[in-house]
Amino acid sequence: MYNWRQMSSKQREDVLRMRKINRVPWHSPPHRDGDSTRFHITAACYRHQPVIGFDRARMSNFESVLLEKVDASADRIMAWVVLPNHYHILIRTDNIKSFLHQLGRFHGSMSYSWNGEENRRGRKVWCNALEHAIKTDRHFWATLNYIHHNPVRHGYVDKWQDWPFSSALKYLESVGRKRAKEVWKEFPIREYGKDWDPPGI
C-alpha cells in the first residue's frame, strides 16, 4: 500500500514539488452559485480497502484521470481530495444524474484496470458514490474546508498543504493563507459529515 506517513521528509518534498511543476488544474471557488447545482460527491473503495493507494503511481494517475473525467462531465470542479481508500469532490453541475452515470462508468473502467494489474478479476472495488446537494453558501465553505482537511482528519499529514493529492495547495495559493484561516474559522467543520459518510471513512 502507498503510505505517505512512511515517506521521508525529502521524499514528501519531492512529491509536492512535482505536483507544483505539473500544475494540476483547479478552479477558484465561486462567490455564489445556485444551491441546486452544487454537490459534494464522496466515493469509497469497497470495505475501505486501500485500492486507490496501491502505490504512488496509481494515486497520482487516478487523481489525474478523475479530474479529467469530472471536468468533462461537470460544469466546474471547486475542490477535491484523493486518499488511499476514498475521495471527495465538490462540483457544480446542472445534471447530477448524468454526472453520476458517467462517474459510475469511470469507476467500472478503473476497477477493470486495477483488477487486471493485481490479477484480481471479479474483485469488487467501489461502493456507490454518494452525492449531497449544497444548500447554502455556509454549507459550501464548510464543505470546502472539510474536503481540504480530510488528510489531516485521517492522520496522513499535519497540514493541508502537505498532502499532494488535493486542491488544498492551489486553494491556499489562490486565496492566501490569511484568508484561508479566516474561512476556516468562519465556517468550521465541527461534526461535519459524521452522520452521512459511508461507514469507515
Q: What is the pLDDT of residues 115-126, one digit of tens each?
A: 999 999 999 999
Residue scoring higher pLDDT (68 or 2): 68
Q: Determine the Cα–Cα distance for residues 69 and 11; give it in Å rounded to an integer.
A: 29
pLDDT at 18: 56
Q: Determine the Cα–Cα distance for residues 160 and 184; give it in Å rounded to an integer.
A: 12
Question: Tell me: domain 35-186, CATH 3.30.70.1290, correct?
Answer: yes
pLDDT at 134: 94
Q: Determine the Cα–Cα distance for residues 34 and 31; give it in Å rounded to an integer.
A: 11
Average model confidence (pLDDT) for the chain? 86
Is residue 167 within 8 Å of residue 12, measured between CB atoms? no
Polymer length in residues for the chain: 201
pLDDT at 31: 41
Place of cell 487523481: 63
Q: Determine the Cα–Cα distance for residues 128 and 67; give it in Å rounded to an integer.
A: 18
Task: Name the pTM for this structure.
Answer: 0.81
pLDDT at 200: 38
What is the arithmetic mean of pLDDT over 122-133? 94
Sheet holding 130-133: strands in order across? 76-82, 86-92, 38-44, 130-133
In the structure, what pLDDT confidence band is assigned to residue 14 with cuts at 50, 70 and 90? low
| Grid cell listed for 63 | 487523481
In the structure, what pLDDT confidence band is assigned to residue 152 with cuts at 50, 70 and 90? very high
Q: Domain boundaries in the chain? A: 35-186
Phi, psi of 24 (to 5 degrees): -55, 130
The residues facing 164 across adjacent strands are none
Angle at 137 between CA 133 and CA 139, to 5 degrees: 55
Place of cell 521524499: 11
- pLDDT > 70 in the chain, percent: 78
